[in-house]
Amino acid sequence: MDIQQHFPVGIIGSGAMGSGIAQVAATAGHPVIIYDTNPAALEKCRGSLAATLQKLQEKGKLPDAQAVIGRLSFASDMNAFAACGLVIEAIVERLEVKKSVFTTLEQVVAPDCILASNTSSLSIASIASACTRADRVLGIHFFNPAPLMALVEVIPAVQTAPGLPDQVKQLMQQWGKAPVIAKDTPGFIVNRVARPFYGEALRIYEEGIADMATIDWAMTALAGFKMGPFTLMDYIGHDVNYVVTETVFQSFFCDPRYKPSFSQKRLLEAGWLGRKSGRGFYSYAEGSAMPEPVKDEAAGRAIWERILFMLINEAVDALQWQIASAEDIELAMTKGVNYPKGLLQWCNELGSGYVLAGLDSLYEVYHEDRYRASALLRRMGVAQKEFPL
Is residue 141 flagged as an active site residue? yes
Choice among 191, 241, 261, 313 that is catalytic: 191
- How far is Cα of residue 129 from the mean position of the Cα atoms in its chain? 23
Is residue 338 flagged as an active site residue? no
Choice among 89, 106, 153, 200 that is catalytic: 153
Burial class of residue 1, CB neighbours in 10 A (0-12, 13-18, 19+) = middle
DSSP class of 256: G
Q: Which of 193, 207, 190, 189 is nearest to 303 (CA)?
A: 207
Choice among 141, 238, 348, 352 that is catalytic: 141
Choice among 14, 120, 121, 313 that is catalytic: 120
Is there a contact between 384 and 353 (Cβ–Cβ < 8 Å)?
Answer: yes
Is there a contact between 47 and 27 (Cβ–Cβ < 8 Å)?
Answer: no
67/324 Cα distance (integer angstroms):
38
Is residue 191 flagged as an active site residue? yes
* Residue at 110: amino acid letter: A
21/38 Cα distance (integer angstroms):
18
Is residue 120 flagged as an active site residue? yes
Q: What is the dihedral of CA 48, 53, 59, 64, to 10 degrees?
A: -160
The residues that are catalytic are 120, 141, 153, 191
